[in-house]
Structure 1
Amino acid sequence: MDDEADLRELLVITLGRMKLDAQAVGTVSEARRALQENTFDLCLTDMNLPDGDGIELVRHINQHIPELPVAMITAYGNMETATLAMKEGAFDFIAKPVSLDRLRRLVDDGLGIRDKAPSGASLEQLVGEAPSMQQLRTQIAKLARSQAPIYISGESGSGKERVARLIHTLGPRHEKPFIAVNCGAIPSELMESEFFGHRKGSFTGAFEDRKGLFREADDGTLFLDEVADLPLHMQVKLLRAIQEKSIRPVGEAKEFDVNIRIVCATHKDLSEEVVQGRFRQDLYYRLNVIETRVPPLRERREDIPLLVQHIMTRLCQQWQIDAPALSREARDVLQQYSFPGNVRELENILERALTLADGPTIEVRHLQLREQNETPASNGSSREASRPASQPLEDYLQEIEKREILRALDATLWNRTAAAKKLGMTFRSLRYRLKKLGLDQGGDDDENE
């Protein structure tokens, strides 16, 4: 739908060459009448129309025909309109003058929302029955159909990447790549190359061509974790890449079109980062078209038993062991714990407990919760203040060694390189001790030796 007859004719001809039937109208009222009388697979609407605007039509479709994908045609550079349209329910936008290649990709994406229904993906992968989790699952189901940028807020360890992956796997891009990158883990001087790629010889150390994350994620989803850690100079380049839907590798003369969905997350308050001048306001509005929040575990304590059962089952299957039971006291302690590290901390606690438990039951002492470990030994009440007379000294020392190693691993989220540094030993020495104490899970090494 467009008020320019020439553009309407161009759209009909282009869609016809794609072997698609199209009906063109010039006003909001004509569009509503056509939607009432016919069934469509996709709607394209301009912003400015003689009797209203495209946003009005987007709202109408979202309310009365929510299964119909709708995209907005905007004036060049008018990102405010594009952002508003996607907030109201449009799955994407295209700017004038309309590029036929981009139009074809937009139409393919829109039709794919209906045609490419994923198999095997389920919202039940998100464990929890708390009202906040039920609301999150409902929101994810809606977000999966859209192509709008999404900002996922939530504390560290709450499951933001899991939500991002679900949005991808439940959407029309599920057969395409899902590329996740931690923005805080890339050195500032390498960011442009990592994101956009480079030509061989474009700088010292560029020994071969590199595609970059944007092109690796082409037709799929790019998940920018900890996006608040991007330096300001990279925020400018990222904003341009998102708006233009094209990137230029370092040392390359031409640009490459990219068709990706951006999903970002951070544990920081991104709006506060904008206020403090650490994050560009224009990029914030471009990324935060739709926001979804992952609740911390302490706000959904009723889900703790379900999560414990789910995690224990998975770990025991991986380790090929019989699942031990949790004592009533251990269950009560977990239910009351504050979980500053959220679900990730619960997974670490249970993994550690399975390692320490030497019988069919996990007791409170096997959990070694953070609040317990921080109890000063000087108060005389610590269970570990002195060696029991019946316990051999070698066993007692080995227990202390195991406990300190597990504390370091827990503090570093089981990053063995970081844990070795925290313990003041080499990575090789820590790996030896892990094997000696039966704590080595056979995982990949954290560093190359």
Structure 2
Amino acid sequence: MTTRQPLVLLVDDEHDLCVLMQMTLARMGIKTHIAHHLQQAKLFFSEHKYNACITDLNLPDGSGLDLVKHVTQHYPKVPIAVLTAYGNMEIAIASLKAGAFDFVNKPINQQHLHQLLTKALHVPLVDFSEDNLQLEHQLLIGESKPMLKLKETIKKVARSQAPVFISGESGTGKEVVAHLIHKLSNRSDSAFVAINCGAISEELIERELFGSVSATSAGTTPDKLGLIQSANGGCLFLDEIAELSLTTQTKLLRALQEKKIRPLGSDQEVDVDFRIISATNQNLEERVQQGKFRQDLFFRIHVMDLHLPPLRERGKDILILAHHFIKNICLEWDIPSKVLNEDAKRFLQVQPFAGNVRELRNMIERAITLCDEHVVGIEHLQYSQKRNFNVEKTEEQINIEPRLATQPISNNIPSEGLEQFLENVEKEVLLNALNQTHWNRTLAAKKLGMTFRSLRYRLKKFGLDSEED
């Protein structure tokens, strides 16, 4: 049985460009048809079964965006890519939002065209059945309406090459969703590289992302491969992208637009092909208005938008997740299985879960540690919320709050000295914020109005950085 030769429709009014693309694709064993007008392209689609389509944005009788919408509506299984000039980035992004598979800049680089068609012809048909259903169950657990809607969106997003932006509170599973998108995409055979931008200092983040070369290597051989190059062919997940400095944002934007990077210390550029998935629990639009995040980068990464619901809005998923965590933890620890009693179930269903899924898992893990019997009760879950930090308080620390609350500053001269007194106050405030957020550091930083990096510095300063998230 012979395999049908792939058939691709090229839509552009530039004859020479179409011939060039046709010759390039012929060497890949791909048959092509050429249309120079929008209406002609629609007619061809009604007469032939195409495996993919590439269209220019500017056509004599209309816009390539109209063709994208037409194909997405009537031929949803056919990936359509868009050709765009450098000045049409906003329209290209609009095409991605309308359902385009990807876009490629003019003038066309044959290598990028080859990569584009290779991926377009291997777009998976995601249906969450059989193997995909098993994968979904392992990575994204939940049957509530918000989660079912999210899974449907992930199906569509996984087929595209468009950048994905994931928003949601800390602990809602942003990296889990990013990983699932990658696993269900045609990039799943390549690397999924994740980095928390808020956990790396500004001095190191560029080296981590772009890599570097040493002076002894004549500017050619990298002594450190950057994460972008490590993700070549696959996906790069940037968590807490709002923490990137404006300088790094500029370099990242260029990498996304040009598909090239320059390692630190190098005089040569390197071609890269990666899909970016980014996330943050901050409001990026506010950061743009404040001048802390580049507007052009915001639009570039904010093509496909996924919002993850907090655990408190997911209803029955709370108990589904709790049972899942109990089963997995018991298997991992090689101990007899445990179950929740009815009081424990009711207790979990009314918790606010400021730390979301991460907090629930930590709560279950501590409860299992404390429970010697087969049944986990409310007393184990309640106790697991009370973290003992073993911080020895001095007499001065114990008296900090009443002294601040009842005495005017001018009369409040601490016996331990001003510097020590202020350090005690700072430590106390940090511990209070961490207690209130169940040691969710990202949320604590937000409550305190500081960056995650600043919080980490202070925790290290006071010897509190060993506590788990």
Question: TM-score, normalization: structure 1?
Answer: 0.82
1:202 Cα deviation from its structure 2 partner = 7.9
Distance 1:107 1:24 in 2: 16
Moved more, 334-343 or 116-125: 116-125
Aligned to 1:123: 136
Amino acid at match of 1:299: E
Question: Are the aligned partners of 1:202 and 1:251 in contact in 2 as well (CA < 8 Å)?
Answer: no
Matched with 2:380 is 366
Once the two structures are TM-superposed, the CA of residue 14 in structure 1 deviates from its matched residue by: 0.9
* Cross-structure match for 1:93: 103
Q: How far off is 1:17 after superposition?
A: 1.1
Listed as ranges, the matches of 1:29-428 within 5 Å are: 29-114=39-124, 120-121=131-132, 122-125=135-138, 126-201=140-215, 209-368=223-382, 411=439
- Structure 2 residue aligned with 1:380: none
Counterpart check, 1:16 vs 2:26: yes
Q: Counterpart in 1 of 2:17? A: 7
Supply the distance in 2 between the matched residues of 1:424 and 1:266 (Cα, whole angstroms).
27
Secondary structure of 2:31's aligned partner:
coil
Residues 65, 202 of structure 1: alpha-carbon distance in 2 compared, 3 angstrom cutoff: farther
1:129 deviates by 1.1
Q: Cα gap change, 1:5/1:334 in structure 2, threshold over 3 Å: closer, same or farther?
A: same
User: Which residue identity lines up with residue 134 of structure 1 in the other structure?
Assistant: L
Does the 8 A contact of 2:323 with 2:339 survive in 1?
no
- Structure 2: any 5+ residue segments left out of the alignment? 1-10, 389-434, 442-455
For 1:370 and 1:73, the matched residues in 2 are separated by: 56
Tell me the TM-score normalized by structure 2: 0.78
Aligned partner of 1:391 in structure 2 is: none
Determine the C-alpha separation between the residues in 1 that align with 2:322 and 2:266: 51
- The 1:424/1:253 distance shift into structure 2, 3 A limit, reads closer
Question: Aligned equivalents of 2:386 and 2:332: distance in 1?
Answer: 28
Q: Take 1:33 and 1:154, find their aligned partners in 2: how far apart are those partners?
A: 43
Q: Decide whether the 8 Å contact of 2:211 with 2:222 is kept in 1.
A: no
The alpha-carbon distance between structure 1 residues 179 and 202, as it changes in their structure 2 partners (threshold 3 A), is: farther
In structure 2, the CA distance between the partners of 1:142 and 1:251, relative to structure 1 (3 Å rule), is same
The residue type paired with residue 240 of structure 1 is R
Deviations 1:174-215 (A, max 9, x none): 010000000111111122211111112489xxx971110110
CA distance in 2, matches of 1:358, 1:160: 34
Q: Deviations over 1:139-191 (max 9, x none)?
A: 00110000000000000000110000000000100010000000111111122
Report SS of the residue matched to 1:94.
strand
Once residues 464 and 151 of structure 2 are traced to their aligned partners in structure 1, the CA distance between those partners, rounded to angstroms, is 44
Q: Is the Cα contact below 8 Å between 1:150 and 1:291 reproduced in 2?
A: yes
User: How far did residue 358 of structure 1 move?
Assistant: 1.6
Provide the secondary structure at the position in 2 that maps to 1:7. helix
Residue 123 (structure 1) shift: 2.4
Deviation of 1:36 after TM superposition, in Å, equals: 0.8
Paired letter, 1:27: H
Between the two proteins, the alignment pairs up a number of residues equal to 392
Structure 1 unaligned residues grouped into runs of 5+: 375-406, 431-445
Distance (Å, rounded) in 2 between the aligned partners of 1:236 and 1:426: 32
Alpha-carbon offset, residue 59 of structure 1: 0.3
Q: Hey, what's the Cα distance between the residues in 2 that align with 1:77 and 1:251?
A: 30
